[in-house]
Amino acid sequence: MTITYTQHALARMAERGIGQQEVEATLKNPFRQIPVDHGRIESQGFIERSGNKQLLRVISEGHVVVLVVTVIATSKFQKYGVSI
CATH code (residue 75): 3.30.2310
The answer to whether the beta carbons of residues 56 and 47 sit under 8 Å apart is yes
| Beta-strand runs (E) in the chain | 2-5, 32-35, 41-49, 52-61, 65-74
> How far apart are the C-alpha atoms of 58 and 69, rounded to whole Å?
8
Tens of pLDDT, residues 27-81: 999 999 999 999 999 999 999 988 999 999 999 999 877 899 999 999 898 888 8
| Per-residue model confidence (pLDDT) at position 47 | 94
What are φ and ψ of residue 78, in 5° steps? -60, -35
Q: One-letter amino acid identity for 3?
A: I
Tens of pLDDT, residues 5-21: 999 999 999 999 999 99
- pTM given for the model: 0.89
The number of domains in the chain is 1
Which residues form the domain of 57? 2-80
